[in-house]
Structure 1
Amino acid sequence: MLDTSERPLSAADESGQLLLATARGDTAAFEQLYRATSSRLFGVCLRVVPQRSEAEDVLQEVFANVWRKAGQFDPARASGNTWLAMMARNKAIDHLRASRNARQSVPIDLTDELADESPNAQAVAEAALEGHRLEDCLQELEAPRRALLRTAFFEGVTYEELATRSQTPLGTVKSWIRRSLAKLKACLEA
């Protein structure tokens, strides 16, 4: 594993931070990692292994592997979410290969649904660059405006709820978000 001080983990890569803590044997971090990522990873497993019960078994194997292999996670090579998704996908594919019944139970006309639709390495790299660029642009906003944007778009909170939480008039919240989005757009287009 490379020295993580070469490229510090961003606050946005919570799963990467939790993986590093898990590698040190932190069971609370592992539990938090499970809660934060299990539904997304179950979706990855379910796309490859369409039988729900088998996909659940694969997910269990994935997290058993995460516990054992968290020390292999290298934040210089991939984000925590990317590493976990690759592990889930690979484990699901291994499960399909090992199970003759699973291969025989998939009708030929459904094979297109089993095709790997995950992004290729170039798409993953481009998405990571875009994510870093977005994070840099977000950092240019004032902290309260940045917090409002994150809450509105990443948590799906309405303007009314934001106004209530921040004890700010609704019109002001809408104006702040509109101006912040305009600044983000200008920054990303630059």
Structure 2
Amino acid sequence: MTEPTSLPAGAPAAAGAPAGPDLAALLRASARGDEVAFAQLYDATAARVHGLALRVVRDPAQAEEVTQEAFLDVWRTAARFDADRGSALSWLLTVTHRKAVDRVRSAEASSRRDTSYHQQNQPIDHDSTAEAATASMEARRVRGALASLTPVQREAVELAYFGGYTHTEVASMLQLPVGTAKTRIRDGLIRLRDAMGVGQ
């Protein structure tokens, strides 16, 4: 399957694009190599993907690269999308978030390599080491706890907390009443708290 020609990262949806396209259908068509469907998917979601990438990496040039990488990954792996596990937009934003986090980690690793000589000649800050280890363990606990949520709870929580969207925006993206979106987020957070043993 040939890859589509590169699309400008972070571009807004094309003028005159159909309102409310069926993203799941476009993903399925993209999985079959339909470049027109993929272009429509890009037009419908590029602004949100770029916005999420920018919130994570906090650098416009890096965000454009992450957006491009995310859509390339979507093109290559569209067949993995499973509508039973969440919406197409949630899947797309999850791919984007993973790419953005990878980019941040890569930049941090590069920075650590650049300063490693100086760090090796400094006294070990045991408190900082302990804090870093604690943060790493907490991240693993959160990932494990997320896996315990139902698909609809995980989708809503990821959009609200990884995507940084408001309850109203989450409701709009998932085509739900605001009250339902709030309930899913609340129930998901309660389940996360229980899974992590917070307050016990």
Structure 1 length normalisation: TM-score? 0.50
